[in-house]
């Protein structure tokens, strides 16, 4: 998810954005969270000009920042500053689908053909065999679409769900039988966006806001409409660039250049570290959908044979080095890479770095290192 359009000439990047990072993470009470501070610094050095963390245990919370939210400035990454959350949007989409299950509008094992006749049954795909559950869990057999290129934008700007789905399905035939194995694909969630629109009669962004975001009081979370590239303040600025001799980040700002609907129901949303952590805590805690639907979202299947991680419905369960497991999802779009994790006993952590370093070089392990350190350290002081 790193289009060529944001790869600007290196000379421009150097002239506009050359900064060395501070030597340590900073924010009170960093002394009480040394493992998290060290992990955040490592994440920062593998990612953008800055990295931020918000964590807690339900009764206390704390935040750390490393580097800067704005190149060539001393600007910490705070828990209430907005950024693009990328594929963490998928969990909001999944939760919206489950609200419709709770209302009896559909069942998880419904073939998608029942609700979107003819949409998926193209290029060798059989919509009568691909279920809603398959799409939510990435077990549909649909491979990831080419994210460097894109379908044509609408006349008014932005992309439609239908064009993204057609682009994804036409781009490659089935890579596996439905239900056979985990294949991560944005197209799954663009199809689910179309499903939400068909059943609610609302645009997917409106349905997600009304059914999930607004009831939880997430006032700093939004789902921009196609063509809306603004990122309201206070915000963390996003960058495209590269690392040079370790501590120097060379790049240019892309905060307002990314078209969010390129990853529509799969990755268009905006939030903050505090809001997105609150959402995942509420979801895992059974305060977004019914107890039955929450259990279905948590019912996992290994993402790969022998893998310790289990794919649920818009959630992934992963082990903690200190024992137990946590529920998580990550997201990356031009300008940002972010991850959130929560445990059953109420511990939570959300982190972001303000650059996406390219699909082959995303700091995934470093980001999960931050979550693991923060969740194992527990609450605040």
Catalytic residue annotation: 87
* Greatest Cα-to-Cα distance within the chain, rounded to the nearest angstrom: 58
Residue 133's alpha-carbon distances to 173, 203, 267, in angstroms, are: 20, 21, 19
Asked whether 287 and 226 are in contact (CB, 8 A), the reply is no
d(CA 315, CA 299): 9
For residue 179 the two structure tokens come to: 């239900």
Asked whether 93 and 189 are in contact (CB, 8 A), the reply is yes
Cβ atoms within 10 Å of 360's Cβ, excluding its own: 6
**In sequence order, what are the residues at sequence separation of 6 or more whose Cβ sits closer than 8 angstroms to the Cβ of residue 284?**
294, 298, 315, 327, 342, 343, 344
The gap between the terminal CA atoms of the chain, to the nearest Å, is 38
Residue 341: beta bridge partners?
A: 328, 349
For residue 103 the two structure tokens come to: 């209302």
d(CA 299, CA 317): 9
Nearest of 347, 344, 339 to residue 40 by alpha carbon = 339
For residue 332 the two structure tokens come to: 């990356």
For residue 32 the two structure tokens come to: 């009480």
Nearest of 235, 241, 294 to residue 94 by alpha carbon = 294
User: Residue-wise over 103-118: b if at least 16 C-beta within 10 A, else e?
Assistant: eebbebeebbbebbee
Residue 333: beta bridge partners?
A: 336
């Amino acid at each position: 998810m790193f289009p060529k359009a944001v790869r600007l000439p290196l000379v421009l990047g150097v002239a506009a954005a050359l900064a060395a990072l501070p030597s340590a993470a900073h924010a009170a009470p960093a002394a009480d969270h040394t493992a998290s501070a060290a992990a955040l610094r490592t994440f920062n050095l593998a990612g953008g000009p800055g990295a931020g963390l918000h964590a807690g245990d339900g009764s206390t919370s704390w935040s750390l920042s490393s580097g800067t939210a704005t190149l060539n400035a001393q600007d910490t990454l705070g828990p209430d500053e907005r950024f693009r959350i990328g594929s963490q949007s998928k969990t909001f989409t999944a939760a919206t689908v489950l609200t419709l299950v709770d209302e009896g509008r559909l069942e998880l094992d419904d073939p998608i053909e029942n609700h979107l006749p003819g949409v998926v049954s193209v290029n060798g795909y059989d919509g009568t065999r691909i279920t809603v559950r398959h799409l939510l869990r990435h077990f549909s057999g649909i491979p990831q679409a080419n994210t460097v290129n894109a379908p044509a934008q609408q006349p008014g700007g932005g992309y439609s769900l239908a064009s993204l789905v057609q682009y994804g399905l036409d781009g490659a035939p089935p890579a596996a039988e439905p239900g056979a194995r985990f294949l991560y694909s944005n197209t799954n969630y663009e199809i689910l966006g179309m499903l939400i629109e068909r059943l609610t009669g609302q645009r997917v962004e409106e349905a997600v806001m009304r059914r999930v975001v607004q009831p939880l009081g997430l006032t700093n979370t939004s789902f921009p409409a196609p063509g809306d590239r603004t990122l309201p303040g206070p915000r963390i600025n996003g960058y495209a660039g590269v690392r040079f001799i370790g501590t120097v980040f060379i790049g240019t700002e892309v905060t307002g250049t990314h078209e969010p609907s390129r990853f529509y129901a799969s990755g268009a949303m905006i939030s903050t570290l505090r809001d997105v952590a609150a959402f995942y805590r509420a979801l895992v805690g059974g305060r977004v959908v019914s107890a039955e639907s929450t259990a279905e979202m948590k019912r996992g299947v290994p993402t790969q044979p022998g893998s310790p991680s289990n794919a649920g419905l818009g959630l992934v369960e992963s082990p903690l080095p200190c024992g137990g497991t946590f529920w998580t999802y990550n997201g990356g779009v031009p300008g940002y890479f972010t991850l959130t994790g929560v445990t059953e006993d109420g511990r939570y952590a959300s982190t972001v770095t303000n650059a996406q370093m390219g699909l082959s070089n995303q700091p995934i392990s470093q980001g999960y290192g931050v979550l693991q350190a923060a969740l194992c350290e527990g609450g605040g002081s």
